[in-house]
Amino acid sequence: MDKVMPMQTQKSSIDEIIREILENRGVPRNIKAMLEESMSMMDMLESENEKISCIISVLDEASSDPNLSPFARTQIWSVVSRLESMKK
């Protein structure tokens, strides 16, 4: 039970960061679509590692977009880093 709470806390902080990026008016629409896709993946896939791997893949692709601001890119990298630490 102790491992569940930190994982839930990490997930909520990741959701919070992604929502903050989505609310940023300077983020291109295609990046917002990728971020929304990554959030929906958290609910769709069964295996935690599968979810994390898919989300990391989507976010990695989003972070390489040349139209993305440095601030948003850094936030995405922060989410990816947290997700990688959650992998089992």
User: Which CATH number is 33's domain given?
Assistant: 1.20.1440.50
Confidence of residue 6 (pLDDT cuts 50, 70, 90): low
pTM over 0.85: no
Say how many domains are in the chain. Answer: 1
For 39, the token pair is: 């959030």
Has residue 45 got a pLDDT over 70? no
Closest CA to 20 of 10, 35, 42, 37: 35
Angle formed by the axes of helices 70-86 and 48-63, to 10°? Answer: 160
In SS3 terms, 17-72 reads as HHHHHHHCCCCCHHHHHHHHHHHHHHHHCCCHHHHHHHHHHHHHHHHCCCCCCHHH
Structural domain of 42: 4-86
> Mean pLDDT of all residues in the chain?
82
